[in-house]
């Protein structure tokens, strides 16, 4: 029997329907749905079947020195027994196994994990690999017809990442949490990627808080041409730092009602079409539409699995020569929204796409692969699908052409001016409105022509602090610094929010985050800087290319971590003292009814959580909280205790958050129940 193993059940069904021409027999392979046709069976996994961990003897945080984790044995633990049982059934009669998981690091490792399970029971089984970038009929059929070898080096690079992240994350998290005496739900999470990423946000926040605004003045005026047309001008000195100087300039201009046009300059400016989407540029474009990186990737995966867009995890910004661009444009030629533009493109003798600087061979840039409609997709799906389609068509389009005009005036020797722009040729902007700018039209005037002052104003302004980093901007910065990968960056940012290090978007660090980064940058700088993580990322790329072995890179990472621990151990006392600031760094729940200070989520030395007052020990007001689950502070306040926000508790395995409500109301209800029980007994 020939088995085809896909990464997900939905993918398995789609591949089976394509390869069978729609005539499959659905059957069960243990608890899994499988699709049989022509002596072949397609079955889908559910992501990783195994996970890496330490032996149980290392589980007690207080009894095991975190340093021991650096060289501890790594074990592989089965986490999806029903899938393993299904793979064991595959092994019984499999003659050939085709791995058809997503073609990237994690996908290759997931496929190799499944293959190893089969080979443990059937060592003679033959195996090969389907590689595809879209779940469409032509792509899947070609991928099946041109199957290749399994890439064990690629799988090893993913396995190395898992081992390294486990060792670093566990050892560092335990050390810092134990030093800070913060265990339980409110432990300090530290990692080789997430900590330097968090440091970027904290450093930016320091810039913002340390910013000292400066006052400046601008001179704005409205002038009229001899033909009666009015337009706005500003002084050539963009910012006056001295008010007296600005007022003197204003007075000189006001003293004369007539000025002259000193020069008129026009030039044609070309605005080039955008390059194809890689994952980072796609996330940034989606961010401008209001989508967070995590939601963007979730929706993109749905569009990919439905066969509407190509694979959404890619570093490529250059279309491969094998991609039939004309045929793909033809797909949209009858579409109500894109059809007219697509037909215009098809009139071209040759479609010449734009290209970015990055060219890889694993997956093409993100592009549409089939036609979708408003009716078939949910509203968020359509918005991102439309973005992908419009971007693709824009990359095949002509440049836009603008006519820029600069007019310089002179009033009483003072230079004023205006700049206009007029769109002369829409080019790609006709299909890609996301970066379209409004035209600024100013009257046509001639050099030497008189102009007349209508009114003039002195505007007082202040310099603005740097802006916080948006989630999409943070992903771009992570890419530049070599932190994480296209597949993991949005997940890292998600974890920073989940662990109460970040809030809002653009990202704002919590007090807990600031305290942690302060401690790391002062006493364990290696963890907070990107250089070490970037080095490991490069070494993992060398595993992928067959230049380094998995074991060699893992050993390098252990050596690096030993150096980090030497720094940590030397500064243990200082780190503990520094992290005391984080004890009051939890999310703010409201205002203390006793003293008016902020209430926050505090943690006792034994790891129990409670609502505490930041004025402790002068104020001892407190309220109990549930022992487990991630606490989320809502914007709603309690109608009975308006000084407190309502809470939600998120627990693993729960489909929906638990609406915990007001902690004071919960405490009073518990107190009443306890009293009634005591009276009843």
**Of 104-118, 157-171, 350-364, 543-557, which gets the smallest average pLDDT?**
350-364
The pLDDT assigned to 601 comes to 82
The pLDDT assigned to 608 comes to 76
Q: Could you read off the pLDDT of 271-313 as tens digits, one per residue? A: 999 999 999 999 999 999 999 999 999 999 999 999 999 999 9
Written as one string, the DSSP assignment of 594-662 is TT-PEEEEEE-TTS-EEEEETTTTT---EEE--SSSEEEEEEEEPSS-TTBEEEEEE-TT-SS-EEEE-
The CA distance from 618 to 602, in Å, is 16
The pLDDT assigned to 520 comes to 93
b or e along 585-620 (b: 16 or more beta carbons within 10 Å of the residue's beta carbon)?
A: bbbbbbebeeeebebbbbbeeebebebbbbbbeebe
The pLDDT assigned to 63 comes to 94
The pLDDT assigned to 581 comes to 58
Q: Where are the beta strands (DSSP E) in 160-203?
A: none
Rounded average pLDDT over 188-215 = 96
CB 157 within 8 A of CB 540: yes
Angle (CA) 52 58 61, round 5°: 115
**Whether residue 110 has pLDDT greater than 60:** yes
Q: What pTM value is reported for the model? A: 0.88
Active site residue 311: yes
**Whether residue 652 has pLDDT greater than 70:** no
In 3D space, the residue among 149, 103, 146, 15 whose CA is nearest the CA of residue 487 turns out to be 103
**Which two tokens mark 320?**
């491969």
Class of domain 279-395: mainly alpha
**Whether residue 381 has pLDDT greater than 60:** yes
The CA distance from 679 to 668, in Å, is 16
The pLDDT assigned to 658 comes to 87
The pLDDT assigned to 635 comes to 83
- Overall fold of domain 2-45+80-150: Rossmann fold (3.40.50)
CA–centroid distance for 154 within its chain = 23
Rounded average pLDDT over 68-85 = 94
- Overall fold of domain 159-166+180-206+473-580: Topoisomerase I; domain 2 (1.10.460)
**Which two tokens mark 260?**
């002259």
Could you write out the three-class secondary structure of 248-278?
A: HHHHHHHHCCEEEEEEEEEEEEEECCCCCEC
**Whether residue 377 has pLDDT greater than 60:** yes
CATH architecture of 215-273+403-462: Distorted Sandwich (2.70)
In 3D space, the residue among 54, 42, 106, 115 whose CA is nearest the CA of residue 84 turns out to be 115
Q: Could you read off the pLDDT of 517-566 as tens digits, one per residue? A: 999 999 989 899 999 999 999 999 999 999 999 999 999 999 999 999 99
Q: Under 8 Å CB-to-CB from 324, ≥6 apart: which residues?
A: none
The pLDDT assigned to 584 comes to 57
Reduced to 3 states (helix: H, G, I; strand: E, B; else coil), residue 290 is coil
**Of 48-62, 212-226, 231-245, 631-645, which gets the smallest average pLDDT?**
631-645
Rounded average pLDDT over 476-497 = 93
Reduced to 3 states (helix: H, G, I; strand: E, B; else coil), residue 56 is helix
Average pLDDT of the residues of the chain: 93
b or e along 671-680 (b: 16 or more beta carbons within 10 Å of the residue's beta carbon)?
A: eeeeeeeeee
Q: Could you read off the pLDDT of 22-47 as tens digits, one per residue? A: 999 999 998 899 999 999 999 999 98
Segments making up each domain of the chain, as ranges: 2-45+80-150, 159-166+180-206+473-580, 215-273+403-462, 279-395, 587-680
Write down the catalytic residue from 35, 311, 341, 501. Answer: 311
- Per cent of the chain over pLDDT 70 is 98
In 3D space, the residue among 286, 284, 619, 617 whose CA is nearest the CA of residue 469 turns out to be 284
Q: Could you read off the pLDDT of 621-630 as tens digits, one per residue? A: 999 988 777 7
Where residue 243 falls among pLDDT bands split at 50, 70, 90? very high
CB 190 within 8 A of CB 449: no
First to last CA, the chain: 69
The CA distance from 6 to 21, in Å, is 18
Rounded average pLDDT over 463-487 = 94
Q: Could you read off the pLDDT of 117-140 as tens digits, one per residue? A: 999 999 999 999 999 999 999 999
The CA distance from 168 to 193, in Å, is 10
**Which two tokens mark 346?**
């098809």
Backbone Cα Rg of the chain: 31
Q: Could you read off the pLDDT of 600-628 as tens digits, one per residue? A: 888 776 667 889 998 888 999 999 988 77
Peptide bond into 420 cis (omega under 30): no
Q: Under 8 Å CB-to-CB from 589, ≥6 apart: which residues?
A: 599, 600, 601, 611, 633, 644, 645, 647, 663
């Amino acid at each position: 029997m020939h088995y085809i193993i896909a990464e997900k059940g939905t993918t398995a069904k789609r591949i089976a329907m394509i390869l069978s021409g729609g005539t499959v027999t659905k059957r069960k392979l243990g608890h899994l749905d499988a699709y049989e046709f022509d002596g072949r069976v397609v079955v889908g996994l559910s992501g990783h079947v195994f996970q890496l961990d330490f032996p149980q003897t290392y589980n007690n945080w207080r009894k095991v020195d975190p340093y021991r984790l650096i060289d501890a044995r790594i074990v592989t633990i089965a986490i999806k027994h029903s899938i393993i049982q299904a793979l064991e059934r595959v092994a019984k009669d499999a003659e050939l196994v085709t791995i058809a998981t997503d073609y990237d690091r994690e996908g290759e490792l997931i496929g190799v994990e499944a293959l190893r399970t089969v080979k443990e029971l059937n060592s003679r089984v033959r195996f090969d690999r389907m590689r595809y970038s879209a779940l469409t009929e032509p792509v899947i059929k070609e991928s099946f017809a041109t199957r290749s070898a399994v890439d064990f080096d690629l799988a090893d690079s993913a396995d190395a990442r898992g081992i390294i992240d486990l060792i670093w994350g566990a050892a560092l998290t335990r050390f810092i949490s134990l030093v800070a005496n913060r265990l339980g739900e409110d432990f300090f999470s530290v990692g080789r990627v997430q900590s330097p990423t968090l440091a970027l946000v904290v450093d930016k926040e320091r810039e913002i808080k340390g910013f000292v605004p400066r006052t400046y003045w601008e001179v704005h005026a409205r002038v009229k041409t001899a033909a009666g047309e009015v337009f706005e001008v500003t002084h050539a000195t963009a910012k006056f730092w001295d008010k007296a100087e600005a007022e003197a300039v204003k007075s000189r201009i006001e003293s004369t009602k007539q000025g002259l046009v000193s020069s008129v300059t026009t030039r044609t400016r070309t605005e080039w079409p955008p390059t194809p989407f890689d994952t980072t540029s796609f996330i940034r474009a989606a961010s401008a539409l209001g989508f967070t990186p995590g939601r963007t990737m979730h929706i993109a995966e749905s569009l990919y699995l439905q066969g509407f867009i190509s694979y959404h995890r890619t570093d490529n910004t250059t279309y491969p020569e094998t991609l039939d661009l004309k045929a793909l444009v033809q797909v949209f030629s009858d579409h109500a929204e894109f059809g007219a533009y697509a037909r215009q493109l098809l009139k071209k003798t040759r479609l010449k796409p734009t290209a970015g600087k990055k060219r890889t061979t694993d997956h093409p840039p993100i592009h549409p692969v089939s036609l979708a409609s408003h009716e078939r997709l949910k509203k968020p799906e359509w918005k991102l699908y439309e973005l992908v389609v419009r971007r693709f068509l824009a990359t095949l389009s002509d440049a836009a052409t603008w006519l820029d005009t600069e007019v310089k005036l002179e009033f009483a020797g003072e230079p004023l001016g205006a700049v206009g722009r007029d769109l002369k040729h829409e080019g790609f902007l006709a299909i890609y409105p996301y970066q379209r700018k409004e035209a600024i039209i100013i009257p046509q005037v001639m050099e030497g022509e008189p102009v007349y002052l209508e009114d003039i104003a002195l505007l007082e302004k202040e310099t603005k602090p740097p802006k916080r980093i948006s989630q999409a901007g943070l992903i771009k910065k992570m890419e530049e610094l070599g932190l994480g990968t296209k597949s993991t960056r949005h997940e890292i940012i998600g974890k920073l929010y989940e662990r109460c290090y970040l809030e809002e978007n653009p990202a704002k660090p919590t007090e807990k985050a600031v305290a942690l980064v302060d401690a790391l940058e002062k006493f364990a700088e290696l963890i907070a800087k990107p250089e070490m993580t970037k080095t490991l990322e490069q070494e993992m790329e060398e595993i992928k290319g067959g230049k380094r072995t998995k074991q060699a890179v893992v050993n390098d990472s252990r050596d690096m971590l030993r150096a980090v621990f030497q720094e940590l151990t030397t500064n243990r006392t200082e780190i503990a003292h520094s992290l005391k600031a984080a004890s009051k760094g939890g999310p703010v729940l409201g205002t203390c009814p006793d003293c008016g200070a902020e209430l926050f989520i505090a943690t006792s030395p034994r790891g129990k959580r409670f609502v505490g007052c930041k004025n402790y020990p002068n104020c001892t007001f407190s309220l109990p909280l549930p022992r487990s689950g991630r606490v989320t502070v809502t914007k709603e306040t309690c109608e009975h205790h308006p000084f407190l926000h309502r809470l939600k508790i998120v627990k693993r395995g729960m489909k929906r958050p638990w609406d915990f409500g007001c902690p004071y109301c919960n405490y009073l209800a518990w107190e009443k129940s306890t009293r009634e029980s005591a009276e009843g007994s």
